[in-house]
Amino acid sequence: MREVAFWRTESPEETKRLGKEFVLGFCRPPVLVLLSGELGAGKTVFVKGMAQALGIPESEVRSPTFSLVHEYSGKPYPLYHMDFYRLSRWEEVVDLGFPEYLEGGGIVVVEWGEKFLSFFPPPFFWVQIGIVDECVRHIRVTHSGGGDDSRP
């Protein structure tokens, strides 16, 4: 994994702005983005920012903890938001249609994606959010390399 960005944020608004910048600066679909960080780290806040880059209202964005997948129709491409917190086996990931979503021509972003890190086909981004204190977060973005496309 190669580090492509490291940010410090001091508010949810700043984290949203970084999520938006991440999409505009790094994402050319189809793209897979894994998000990790403990409960309350700001994974969903980051996805709200990613959604903004595609014109999706942030009010539509919620952790798909129970439904597992939320599809948002963005412009110019869709955002597929998944949460694997409750999954324990890769077969469950396949059963919910993960391979098809990946080929859906959009961005697939997965909260708790690191649970299956060794199963995901490169290339993918891994966004790790660490809690520093109540309002401060460190966000590290790495890229797997590999696949047909080793951007960035």
Ligand X SMILES: Nc1ncnc2c1ncn2[C@@H]1O[C@H](COP(=O)(O)OP(=O)(O)O)[C@@H](O)[C@H]1O
Q: Which residues bind ligand X (CB under 6 A)?
A: 9-12, 15, 37, 39-45, 63, 111, 135, 137
For the CB of residue 5, give the shortest distance to ligand X in the complex, in Å: 15
What the block records as the tokens of 132 is 């520093």
For the CB of residue 138, give the shortest distance to ligand X in the complex, in Å: 10
**94 or 132, CB closer to ligand X?**
132
For the CB of residue 7, give the shortest distance to ligand X in the complex, in Å: 10
135 binds, among Mg ion, ligand X, none (CB under 5 to 8 A by kind): ligand X
Residues making contact with Mg ion (CB under 5 A) = 43-44, 63, 111
